[in-house]
Copies of this chain bind each other. A is one copy, B any other.
Amino acid sequence: MSGTTTGATNGLAKRVTGQVHVIGAGLLGASIGLGLRAHGTEVTLEDASPTTALLAADYGAGRARTPEDPEPVLVVVATPPDVVADVVARALETYPDSVVTDVASVKLAPFLELRRRGVDLTNYVGSHPMGGRERGGAIMARADLFVARPWIICRDEETPAAALALIEAVALELGATPLEMTPQEHDRAVGLVSHLPQAVASLLAGRLLPASDQAIALAGQGLRDTTRIAASDPELWVQILGANREPVVEGLDALQADLAAFTDALREPEAPGARRRLADLLAAGVRGVSRIPGKHGSSERFTTITVLIDDRPGQLAALLTELGDLGINMEDLRLEHSPGAQIGFAEIAVLPEVAERAVADLTERGWRTL
């Protein structure tokens, strides 16, 4: 196993040498495959659904294993959480010399289940790369899904150093930041920063169902942001929340107490101290949100320029053609427009060094930029 990293002094220069086998070719598995292949690592794939495996392969995330392939140095289990323990146990048996990791978003339940079955866990290191999107599937995969994101590694005292180093090398190769935690620490932390917001966003979004069209038409960025992750797959989240029940229920109970206190204070504004209680709860929110570290990663690599476009056919095509003529490479594009408005915005991500020239050139050609 000592050949799995180059042992370079700079962590970022580490390389994964040898094949990596990914089981489960959805969003996470395909993104890991894409990212590792971009760095020259050979990746093989399998999925319970042959269609999904083929789609991920077409997308460039890896290829099917053949009988000629050597045993992989690493097996990454990227299946839904409720089958993780099964698939990890099977992988440890099928590939006795491979390190096996999983990337499930809960860490204690699968670990306890593997322990309960008496599986030899010497070669197993649980991990959790904290990248994700509200929509899953291989077609949403991105090689940069984990860039600048934490990649939690759940080692214990029996984890061989080489196995740990291998997972770290994978995390670093994909641009993530490896962090060590116990499964318990991990589950408490994600219960608060990931699972609780998911439940809250879903319940808030559910309140929109009985609303009038007139009310929905007034929705703005605040509502969009607070409910964005509510678009996530319910089936997956029933599994995740169920597997991390204790921390999530604790968080929901605490939130419910705050919600009751807030509602009571708003209902009876003349009760002694009611306005003060409202203000205190709102101020706690201000302090809470200020604890969240700044946005890291892919977005900071680019500068966004905003171009106003008239809402008529062909305007966006004309803008993009113009950008191409100007030799400006568009790294990302986001369109903002509102039904009924005559104007929309194209938010175009470009490399910082070309942003100023792009704005000048576009302005000169009659485009309005913000």
Contact = CB atoms under 8 A, between A and B. Distances in A.
13 contacts: A34-B338, A139-B336, A181-B214, A193-B216, A206-B287, A206-B288, A209-B288, A209-B291, A211-B291, A230-B282, A252-B263, A256-B263, A295-B336
A361 to B, nearest CB: 15
A355 interface: no
A206 B285 contact: yes
A165 interface: no
Interface stretch (A16-24, A65-73, A314-322): A314-322
Contact of A152 (B212, B218, B245, B341): B218
A284 interface: yes
A1 interface: no
A27 B310 CA distance: 20
A282 B238 contact: yes
A188 B215 contact: yes
A275 B236 CA distance: 12
Contacts of A287: 206, 209
Contacts of A179: 217-218
A48 interface: no
Nearest to A239: B275
A370 interface: yes
Nearest to A188: B215
Contacts of A198: 222
A329 to B, nearest CB: 5
Nearest to A308: B147
A333 interface: yes
A162 B147 CA distance: 56
A288 to B, nearest CB: 4
Contacts of A330: 313, 316
A289 B207 contact: no
B144 A340 contact: yes
A253 B141 CA distance: 39
Contact of A206 (B140, B256, B258, B329): B258
Contact of A177 (B130, B220, B340, B370): B340
Please name the 9 residue pairs, one residue from A and one from B, whose CB atoms are nearest each other, closest first. A143-B340, A202-B285, A317-B320, A38-B340, A142-B338, A234-B282, A189-B215, A206-B284, A208-B288
B269 A242 contact: yes
A259 B263 CA distance: 14
A107 interface: no
A338 B144 contact: yes
B192 A197 contact: no
B320 A316 contact: yes
A38 to B, nearest CB: 4
Interface string A31-45: 000110110000000
Contacts of A208: 192-193, 288-289, 291-292
A70 B267 CA distance: 46
A193 B214 contact: no
A277 to B, nearest CB: 10
Contact of A142 (B60, B211, B255, B340): B340
A226 interface: yes
A271 interface: no
A223 B193 contact: yes
Contacts of A248: 266
A141 B294 CA distance: 22
A194 interface: yes
Nearest to A327: B313
